Structures are given as structure tokens and as C-alpha cells.
Amino acid sequence: MVKQLPSIKTLLKSYGVVDAQWHCPADHIDAILQAEGGHAPTFYQDRGSSYEYDDKDALEGQTLSSFAAPASQPLFWDREPFHNQTHLPPGPDPSARAGVLYADSHVKCVLWDELLKQQKNPIVKGSGSSESGGR
């Protein structure tokens, strides 16, 4: 039997995180999802948060000192590259950016491709092949 863990939103509520903090003002559902139909105009309205995180990293009870390089370890990031995106087909604009919260608690707006690379790097000291699942 798999133990059902509480959501990260539920866990952080006891630290004073309120629901509105899960909404990025630049959040919008992209044209591909809009074309599918059945989606709200924003990820926040559709899924309860504008942000993504790796469940494994967020819910395993790791301490910040367990990250080999906390200044380069993304913890939370925009679900999509909401910032500077021109929506040119067939994919995101190369200048598209996402807001990222890192394990050392700094926030930075990075190129989407840079974020994807950071998510593939080993993240925990002594973990060997552990990788962030990301998208």
C-alpha cells in the first residue's frame, strides 16, 4: 500500500503560505492546451498553482544542507515559460523565461532551456544517479 502524502500547498500552509502565493501574475494556459478545451484561462485556476516542483525533492524530508549545490538546485518553477514568450510555433520562444525558486532561497528568472538543464543535474549529496524529474 502506498502512503498518500499531503500536497506541498497543505504542508506549507502551516508556515504562513497563503493560496494567493501560488499564483504567478504572468500565468496563462498556452495555445495548445486552450485548443484542447476544458481548461481554465490560467494554470492557477486549472490546477491550483502556477508553479511546478519535483515531488521527490519537495516531499522526501530533505534538509537544505543535503543539496550539493543549493544555489543551482531549482525547488519550484513556473509551469510554463510565462515570461518574454512570443508564442511562435512550433514551440516556445528561445527567449522565454521562467521564474525559479532555488534551494538557497533566491529567486531568478532564467531561460526555459537553462531550467530544463538544471533539472537534469544530480541534486542530493551522495545520491549517485538521483535526478530531478521536472517535466
Residue range 12-63, pLDDT digits in tens? 899 999 999 999 988 888 777 778 888 888 889 988 999 988 766 655 667 7
Taking alpha carbons only, the member of 89, 131, 134 closest to residue 113 is 134
**111 with 97: CB under 8 angstroms?**
yes
Taking alpha carbons only, the member of 90, 94, 87 closest to residue 113 is 94
Cα–chain center distance at 31: 20
Say which residues have a Cβ less than 8 Å from residue 69's Cβ, sequence separation at least 6.
Answer: none
Mean residue pLDDT of the chain comes to: 76
pTM above 0.75, yes or no: no
